[in-house]
Amino acid sequence: NAGVTQTPKFRILKIGQSMTLQCAQDMNHNYMYWYRQDPGMGLKLIYYSVGAGITDKGEVPNGYNVSRSTTEDFPLRLELAAPSQTSVYFCASSSPRVTGNTEAFFGQGTRLTVV
């Protein structure tokens, strides 16, 4: 199993450019998440999805969009990049069971710099 795979690992964007951060998981998890982590801080939830076709906003959704057309993929789109979006982005997945909570699996992150 590859787990959660994020691409690219690094990217530099100019202000106003757009890009899509890719995230794929091969564990058949129904729940997927996007977080951002600013230097020295904890992770903040951007968007999440509880299954294909269902997405919802997290704590810091402004400036981002997501889609979930398949169980495996959960891309994050930045439409007009701003310096405030310079951060490390983590994708995660989990599959909570009816009878109990379960752990989340995280990707290795995408380090994005907007200049």
Partner 1 sequence: DAKTTQPNSMESNEEEPVHLPCNHSTISGTDYIHWYRQLPSQGPEYVIHGLTSNVNNRMASLAIAEDRKSSTLILHRATLRDAAVYYCILSRIDNYGQNFVFGPGTRLSVLP
Which parts of this chain interact with partner 1 (CB under 8 A)?
4, 31, 33, 35, 40-45, 48-50, 56, 90, 92, 94, 96, 100-109
Nearer to partner 1 among residue 28 and residue 103 (C-beta): 103
Nearer to partner 1 among residue 4 and residue 13 (C-beta): 4
What are the b/e assignments for 31-67, b being 16+ CB within 10 Å? Answer: bbbbbbeeeeeebeebbbbeebeebeebeebeebebb
Nearer to partner 1 among residue 14 and residue 101 (C-beta): 101
